[in-house]
Structure 1
Amino acid sequence: MKMIDDRQSLGSAEPVTPADVRGEFRHLRTRISDRTFAAKLALWAALTGAGAALAGQPALWSRAAGMLLLGCMFAHAAELQHQTLHSLGFRNRRANTVAGIVLGIPMLISFAAYRATHMRHHRDLGTPENREFFDYGDQYGVDGGGSRWRTALTWTIRFTMLHFYVQFLACAARAVLRRDYDGESATTSRRIRRDHYLILTALLAFTLLSVVLREPVVLWVWLLPLLLVAGPVHALIELPEHFRCETLSQDAFANTRTIRSNRLMTWFTNGNNFHVEHHLMPNLPIERLPALHDEVRPRLKHFHTGYVDFFRKVVRG
């Protein structure tokens, strides 16, 4: 850490650049492991299947447990999808695309749209042009004032992910009408339409299955787990990443937050809790983020030991 420490000791206000970090910590890079990501997918598929089996049972406790497990796995799938956006799941780009498309279906996420927006987020974070794919309303907690009712409404909108579902419906409508998407190339627009066709086809298939079985399968194994569990859980995971950080600073230590947490949460968030580290080295294999964290821990400005610690401090103001 000599180079970075020297810059700080000189009192320079210049942020540490990604190039600085890549040069200093290039020894942390390892080859992407296909087996590791395949194992992650296999575990996700097994737990998702178990959740569907439980949700399909008539007993109330089984159905509730199944929907809870399914919702958590939908949220976990979005974190696995994030890995494929950066082509860090498999070494083969097409394999990442296929896996990413499948992983996005449960939460109605277009792989192509998410990837295009997310790459711009990495490029534009620290500037007024920064936009994120998931819209929680007051994304970064800039609007901290207002009455209790207004505050309660703001947090309700965040955790229900209402804006995201409205966004999905608008994008799905454009796909059906075969229209391009604002700000996207014709190729990217075509891929976004492809993803929405697949999602809409899956929704139609589950709806038809529900009609044939005379049982609302689409509700028990998809829509209710999504709305009641996956949406709020996903917001709990992703909202802290830049919330009330200095998002107009181009220094990743200032505009991003890391949450150390425990092994279970690190698995569940797929390492996305090491978010400063991810923004410092976006192409570093996910499994190496804890090693980078150990190197840069003294420099972290926005750091919490767990998600409970973060939200407790947010509530306390």
Structure 2
Amino acid sequence: MKLLILGGTEFVGRAVTEAALARGRQVTVFHRGRHAPPAGVTELFGDRTGADGLVALAAAAGESEGGAHTWDLVVDTWSGAPSAVRDAARLLAGRVGQYAYVSSRSVYDHPAPAGLPEDGPLVDGASPDAGADAPYPQAKRGGELAALDVFGDRALLARAGLILGPWENVGRLPWWLQRIARGGPVLAPGAPDTPLQYIDARDLANWLLDAAEHGLHGPYNVVSRPGHTTMGELLDACVRATGSGAELRWTAAEKILAAGVEPWSELPIWLPPGELYDTMHQGDVSRAHAAGLHCRPVEETVTDTWDWLRGLGGAAPQRPDRPAVGLDPETEAKLLTA
């Protein structure tokens, strides 16, 4: 199988690249050149947001002859303007066998009730022609529409939820690991038995490749089953991985919210009970699991992420289009001593 990965150097894209290489696949990555891809790939350079950003991709794609495809599969992790997905899909029409788009469960109309499957209501106002000003849910749904418009039943839509693991460039699990590594009392939010639902980027990558090889298409909620782990198990794994001896101080959600602390952004991953929690951590994932999704233990995700961070000297990469996450030490100290 010959793969084209649009991106392929960061987080999910890199996980797909590494998984494909491990399977002995021929991999081409198309990226802006800001980060080095894994060794063993063919590189194409271009900026999808530029007027001539797809020139190198068009030259490499060439013209299909005798029905042969230049690549068997393209994996697209784009989360910006849907028009960029549209332009890439149109360019690759007839030159790629299947188009896998890494989407998001944010495409469902908010709030998404607990147990919502793939045929649930979707956000309004999405368009494959939208630009960079499209809100994230509409941008991801617009990307889906762009892939479907061109590839139809050869389009695979992986609606991921919370994504964790090595190469994370959003900062959620890295923040917890870095905070716990400092040791001392640590503000632990809510109840330790709160179930979580997430996906390790490497498990997402492996499922994508398996699904494509089996010719799957359409939307799949690609995330662990609800309760694959808990907030307590996650943070305990962080304590063990860092070896810091940090003391987790479990604090009631009501106290945290009364102090004006923002769940998800200031205390990453965690959400108090309610609509947002049901949307993020209670989705129906039976379809993806029936199609072979396997999720590794949280201990492995946490340990491997910590090992990766230490290899970087402790400084995690940060996407420039996402705000930094985490609770400032002063606010944490006030809550711990209140």
Settle same-fold status: TM greater than 0.5: no
TM-score w.r.t. the length of structure 1 is 0.27
* Structure that is richer in helix per residue: 1
* Higher RCO (C-alpha under 8 Å, 6+ residues apart): 1
